[in-house]
Amino acid sequence: MNEFLPNFLPQLTQQLINGLSLGSIYALIAIGYTMVYGIIGMINFAHGEIYMIGAYVGVVTLTALGAASGTLPLTLVLAGALVAAIVVTAAYGWTVERVAYRPLRGGPRLVPLISAIGMSIFLQNYVQLGQGARDVSVPPLLPGNLFSVEIGGFPVSLSVTRALIIGVTVVLMIALTLYIGRSRMGRACRACSEDMGMARLLGIDTDRVISFTFVLGAALAAVGGVLIGLSIGKINPFIGFVVGVKAFTAAVLGGIGSIPGAMLGGVLLGLTETFASAFLPTEYKDVVAFSLLVLVLLFRPTGLLGKPDIEKV
């Protein structure tokens, strides 16, 4: 940091890339929080664990397929890991709703909250029992940089992994926006989030819509889990907690209940954190990230893209 000035431009560019890739992961997970909240008005506290399970399924599949990587093309290995993680994790998301939320629907709001926290503790220990508590390393499948340039004598690079994270996230975000905006199920989701009783009256199977949001949120979190495994190189059963809290922060930052808000909040939080750890002592990155949340909540309690809900009591 002593060569701050000449270093500034490349540093800025590099941190922008890093921040975008971290923010992409947050955004993928934040969507699960925001969609569930938008429909049932409750926070899914087991969502961080769902992400962790996604990461584990990804690693197991990558390792299994990676052993055969001499014969299998790399893209196939990656695609296989992503699909496996999505399918298995979506099943977990569905189960969380069935076990921790549906039987308690109609009860006081605190009750499903507590059962979801219980679910989160259960899942963490369940993975610990099955996979061990120690770090599991992810086979380095994507070494190297997509490109590396020198700006003012300093290198700026975009690694293949980061490019993959950003690319996959952008594609998924566009697909999700189209799906929610245009499809029959997307319409049903939006209708349920506005007036669940009316949606039911019009013949929409609201239980199915609720299940769908848990499944979709889990699938996106699973993608986030696989990608972070590839990028950091190791995972453990406890990664769900901090990332879960961060993604939740991102959802609140963008305006909980708003899908574009979750995307924006995730990217913003990722950038803030990366820049904070680049220009301040690294330990301060969480302080800065959560200070941002406090500021937004003080001056704009509904989040950046959230609209104040006047009608709901």
CB of 189 to other proteins, least distance (A): 10
Q: Of these, 184, 294, 299, 312, which contacts other proteins (CB under 8 A)?
A: 184
Is residue 204 at the binding interface for other proteins, with CB under 8 A as the rule?
A: yes
Burial 11-36 (b: 16+ CB within 10 A, else e): bebbbebbbbbbbbbbbbbbbbbbbb
Q: Please give the C-alpha separations between residue 245 and each of 29, 235, 269, 304, 306, in angstroms, as whole numbers.
A: 10, 17, 12, 18, 19
Angle at CA 248, nearest 5°, toward 244 and 250?
A: 115
Task: Give the Cα separation of 198 and 200 in Å (integer).
Answer: 5
Is residue 183 at the binding interface for other proteins, with CB under 8 A as the rule?
A: yes
Is residue 300 at the binding interface for other proteins, with CB under 8 A as the rule?
A: no
Is residue 191 at the binding interface for other proteins, with CB under 8 A as the rule?
A: yes
CB of 212 to other proteins, least distance (A): 8
CB of 85 to other proteins, least distance (A): 19
Is residue 188 at the binding interface for other proteins, with CB under 8 A as the rule?
A: yes
Q: Of these, 60, 63, 99, 200, which contacts other proteins (CB under 8 A)?
A: 200
- Residue placing its CB nearer to other proteins in the complex, 73 or 312: 312
- Residue placing its CB nearer to other proteins in the complex, 187 or 300: 187
- Residue placing its CB nearer to other proteins in the complex, 199 or 256: 199
CB of 183 to other proteins, least distance (A): 5
Burial 99-123 (b: 16+ CB within 10 A, else e): bbbeebeeeeeeebbebbeebbeeb
**150 strand-pairing partners:** 155
Per CB under 8 A, which region of 23-31, 161-169, 183-191, 217-225 contacts other proteins?
Answer: 183-191
Task: Give the Cα separation of 278 and 282 in Å (integer).
Answer: 7
Q: Of these, 104, 136, 151, 185, which contacts other proteins (CB under 8 A)?
A: 185
Residues contacting residue 164 through CB under 8 Å, at least 6 positions apart: 78, 142, 227, 230
Q: Of these, 53, 199, 239, 259, which contacts other proteins (CB under 8 A)?
A: 199
CB of 101 to other proteins, least distance (A): 20
CB of 145 to other proteins, least distance (A): 35
Residue pair 138/230 in contact (Cβ under 8 Å)? The answer is yes
# chain residues binding other proteins, by CB under 8 A:
17
Amino acid letter for position 57: V
In the block, residue with structure tokens 């699960």:
32
CB of 15 to other proteins, least distance (A): 37
Rg (alpha carbons) of the chain, rounded to whole number: 20
10 Å CB burial of residue 214 (0-12, 13-18, 19+) is: buried
Distance of CA 235 to the CA centre of its chain: 15
Is residue 83 at the binding interface for other proteins, with CB under 8 A as the rule?
A: no
Is residue 187 at the binding interface for other proteins, with CB under 8 A as the rule?
A: yes
| Binding footprint of other proteins on the chain (CB under 8 A) | 183-185, 187-188, 190-191, 194-195, 198-204, 311
